[in-house]
Amino acid sequence: MRGKLNSDSVVYGLSAMIGIVAFMAIYGLHVLNPVYDDWLLGQGDLTQHYLGWCFYRRSDWFFPVGLTDNLAYPSFTSVIFTDSIPVLAVFFKLLSPILPETFQYFGWWGIVSFALHGFFSAKILRELSVGRMQALIGSIFFVLSPLVIERMFKHTALGGHWMILAALYLFVRHGKDYRNTKKAVVCWGILGALTAAVHLYFLPMCGAFLCGYLLCSFWRERRFGWKYLLPGISFGGMLFISTYLLGGFSTRAVSSDSGLGECSFNLNGFFNAKGYSRFFDALPMYHELQYEGFAYLGLGIFVLLTTVAAFVVMDLTRNGGSCIKRKRMEILTAGLMAAGLVVFAASPVVTWNDRLLFVLTDSSTLTHYWSIFRSTGRIIWPVNYMIYLAAIACNAKLWENIFEKNSRRYKNMVAVAGTVVVAACCILQIVDIGGKLAEQRVQFAKKTTYVSPFQDDVWTELAQKESLRHLVWVSNSYGNREILEFAKWAYDNQLTMNIFYFARGIGVMEDTQNSLHNPDDTYVFVFVPDEVQEYADCGLYFYEADGYVVGTTFELER
């Protein structure tokens, strides 16, 4: 095998292939069938993403192009707020006339994301001078990252961690590219556009590496130069344009959210296995929603991190820290980025296990803007990958230092020793999280059949009414799974929804009340039984069905 790894392009291709094989081994092949959607239904957030795409696809075209009027009818909302991977939603809507009636792209998003995880991780490791075989094995850590496994097909767009790796790759290549202003502007501009077109939570993550990139430019040049700000301007400009075109500024969605601090990163996050480890138990958390800050590193990385300590000690004692000094700018910048990301992720309520350590700020103004990224715990993800890179790169450097006095004589030994260590740790990593990988396969690799919870004859009769156009959920209180089931029924019967499970809230009560007080045969109203008495004078006929009350302006044949 070693003889065949004679070029970086081969390593990159094989790393991408590892991602593809890993995806199929974990999730099976059924999820890749574009006309099989049962696996996407009755699944909470995953159903939100799929139905968001379905309703958007059926909607007329508007400008901005990401808008739809059939999820919060009669108001507009953006496909951004259904987390349906907007860039793919728009692309496939363009192809909608030639696509089958049932069509899903989420399985293919998953397999391409896994391939790109392998590809970008291998490229970064090679930029850090890690040997080809070690880079190939090292890419497995990234492909099978517990963070990716946790997010893929739960918050599907956020499973695209290759975007974090792409930003990290641009940062690592800074010394080679920063004077090539045109290239830097194009690369960071593309990443800015994709940030809005995939998921806006990638903004602070990719933005951290952009800030590090700009800082390194000024540091290397030892002066301020406007041209070195152009990558940042390009990133921000394309982010704004992409968000605008997708309708992110054209709805009544509230940008911030309540509960800041409940979804933060618990400082035990790197060690809290949360069911992912065969060897370590879950640790307590201060808030139950701190699962958003899940950042378990894995046993293999824990062991591999010992090489970081060994390398630092050896470099300081044997070489006077020469290797560290040569990279001090990159190391200091990376340290600043990591520290900033940890502060962002762990704040403003800083916790360890089930203890509150301190509250960073109680400023209402700061909290308002911070709440745009309410699930701050997610912002820890780039730090995980920086730790992965440090562990793998320092392992390679350690063996070079051990044999450096006889580097020619022991050249092969350097490569073999580093490869054996990283391979052994990779095996440990897989064994550690193997149980969770098996759980994922049990859940997704088998074919399932979705069964609607609405079996009463009322629904059958309503489905036959050609006049119906709109389903109105009247209560202002509902569970997300509940409203998604109604959305599925509405979609199957070509009705609009007045409310949906959105990533950001949209006020719909005024429109709902207007519909109630001006009902006609195009509406079907759904009530919670305890609340229906409030609307007894709205001129509706009421029918009980599957634990709900349905209201219409016409009588049903029962």
Report pLDDT digits (tens) over 541-556: 999 999 999 999 999 9
Take residue 450 and report the two structure tokens written for it.
């979705």
Closest CA to 353 of 299, 282, 263, 301: 282
CB 270, CB 297: distance < 8 Å: yes
Q: Whole-angstrom Cα distance, residue 19 to residue 9?
A: 15
pLDDT digit string, tens, across residues 286-333: 999 999 999 999 999 999 999 888 888 887 777 777 777 778 888 899
φ, ψ of residue 249 in degrees (nearest 5):
-105, 5
Q: What is the pLDDT confidence band of residue 410, given thresholds at 50, 70 and 90?
A: low
Average pLDDT over residues 451-474: 94
Average pLDDT over residues 527-535: 87
Take residue 92 and report the two structure tokens written for it.
């496939």
Closest CA to 227 of 168, 170, 169, 183: 183
Q: What is the dihedral of CA 275, 281, 284, 288, to 10 degrees?
A: 10
Tell me which of 23-37, 232-246, 497-511 is least confident.
497-511
Q: Taking the model in full, what pTM does it have?
A: 0.94
| CA neighbours closer than 13 Å in the CB half-sphere of residue 466 | 0
CB 301, CB 385: distance < 8 Å: no
Q: Whole-angstrom Cα distance, residue 536 to residue 550?
A: 12
Q: What is the DSSP letter of 530?
A: G
Residue 397 is predicted with a pLDDT of 86
Residue 229 is predicted with a pLDDT of 95
Helix (H) or strand (E) holding 146: helix 146-151
Q: What is the pLDDT confidence band of residue 384, given thresholds at 50, 70 and 90?
A: very high
Residue 3 is predicted with a pLDDT of 44
| CA neighbours closer than 13 Å in the CB half-sphere of residue 157 | 28
Report helix, strand or coil for 194.
helix
Q: What is the pLDDT confidence band of residue 366, given thresholds at 50, 70 and 90?
A: confident
Would you give the distance in Å from CA 391 to the centre of its chain?
A: 24
Instruction: Look up tokens 């574009």; give the residue.
Output: 34
Residue 161 is predicted with a pLDDT of 97
Report helix, strand or coil for 246.
coil
Q: What is the DSSP letter of 503?
A: S
Cα 68 to Cα 59, 84, 144: the distances in Å are 6, 13, 36
Would you give the distance in Å from CA 160 to the centre of its chain?
A: 6
Closest CA to 31 of 14, 43, 13: 43
CB 395, CB 418: distance < 8 Å: yes
Report helix, strand or coil for 352.
strand
Tell me which of 52-56, 361-365, 437-441, 532-536 is least confident.
361-365
CB 384, CB 342: distance < 8 Å: no
